[in-house]
Amino acid sequence: MDKVNSSVVSEFVLLGLSSSQELQLFFFVFFSVLYVVIVLGNLLIIIAVTSDNSLHSPMYFLLGNLSFVDICQASFATPKMIADFLSEHKTISFSSCITQIFFIHLFTGGEMALLVSMAYDRYVAICKPLHYVVIMSQRTCTVLVMVSWTVGLVHTLSQLSFTVNLPFCGPNVVDSFFCDLPRVTKLACLDSYIIEVLVVVNSGILSLSTFSLLVGSYIIVLVTVWFKSSAAMAKAFSTLAAHITVVILFFGPCIFIYVWPFTTYPVDKLLAIFYTVFTPILNPIIYTLRNRDMKAAMRKIMTYYLRPKKISEIPLVVRNSFY
């Protein structure tokens, strides 16, 4: 295969979620509201983690990074999907399509690794509480975040190395709302069976290995506290419940779409929406509603920014402009 892409297809046509005009108007409003909530909800978590001293701990540092990844994950394709609901011709250029593939695998791979880091943090906190401060130092947390981004970058570059030089010379209709790698690969003008196997193996190894690490860490934690007391068991389960919920909601659709052989199903669109839109909005809900410290920090932020300010609290430059 030539190093230079021999594609004659300059753009792809995205079929989107529905061809019904009424449904597209509904989807436009629905997903616009969801996207705003995703950005504001996760941004509020980031502000709370960085501004509240009581949240300056490894768990919240990783949570803040997860919120940043969620904003990125929701932003790689959702704004274009929302704009396409009002467009009759839903097209995307070849370069933009490759860019979408790059970012979706960068963010999903990074989030998988970051969830493993968060599980490791909970394992140390519950199973090695006396050594927690030493093990989960600021340096360790920074390394864990850097490793997460490195895993995502290596994953997406390996995926692109399989697909970026594929020749596209005829069909250019993608039955999705973004350039989903399995559907794009099927449009190549050659027998892409080997490429499909490589992509499945790549995604499968990452998804199943990280999922296995997560499940293994949860089992170790629960077995460890099982022999302590029922109160410790209840506390550990309460702590892990949010993590387990996020893992199931995030990994389920990813494993279904990318680990199975390249047979596409109608439900793939729904699952793609789930891990690109619904998971980023569920993360702030799950982690904040079950966390007393986070709820208290958010209340302080909301109170500070929304309550009427006294004249003495207004900056001097602003007060002078009143007169």
Q: Would you list the domain boundaries of the chain?
A: 11-297
- In the predicted structure, residue 4 carries a pLDDT above the cut 60: no
Question: What does the DSSP 8-state code read for residue 274?
Answer: I
For the chain, give the percent of residues with pLDDT over 90: 22
Kindly state the average pLDDT of the residues 19-45: 89
Q: Specify the pLDDT at position 290.
A: 67
Beta strands in 143-266 (DSSP E): 173-174
Tell me how far apart the alpha carbons of residues 31 and 90 are, in angstroms, rounded to a whole number. Answer: 17
- Three-class DSSP category at 14: strand
Angle at 115 between CA 137 and CA 229, to 5 degrees: 75
What's the pLDDT band for 125 if we cut at 50, 70, 90? Answer: confident
- Look at domain 11-297 and name its CATH class: mainly alpha
For the chain, give the percent of residues with pLDDT over 70: 83
Residue 4 phi/psi, 5-degree rounding, is: -90, 130
Say which residue, 60 or 52, is predicted with more confidence. 60
CB 66 within 8 A of CB 283: yes
What's the pLDDT band for 128 if we cut at 50, 70, 90? Answer: confident
Q: Specify the pLDDT at position 65.
A: 94
Q: Which of 16-20, 101-105, 315-319 has the lowest mean pLDDT?
A: 315-319
Residue 211 to residues 128, 203, 206, 239, 242: CA-CA distances in angstroms? 22, 12, 8, 18, 15
What's the pLDDT band for 201 if we cut at 50, 70, 90? Answer: confident
Q: Specify the pLDDT at position 311.
A: 53
pTM confidence score? 0.83
**Distance linking the first and last C-alpha atoms of the chain:** 72
**pLDDT, tens digit, 9 for 90 and up, residues 176-194:** 888 888 788 888 887 777 7
What are the residues facing 13 on neighbouring strands?
Answer: 91, 173
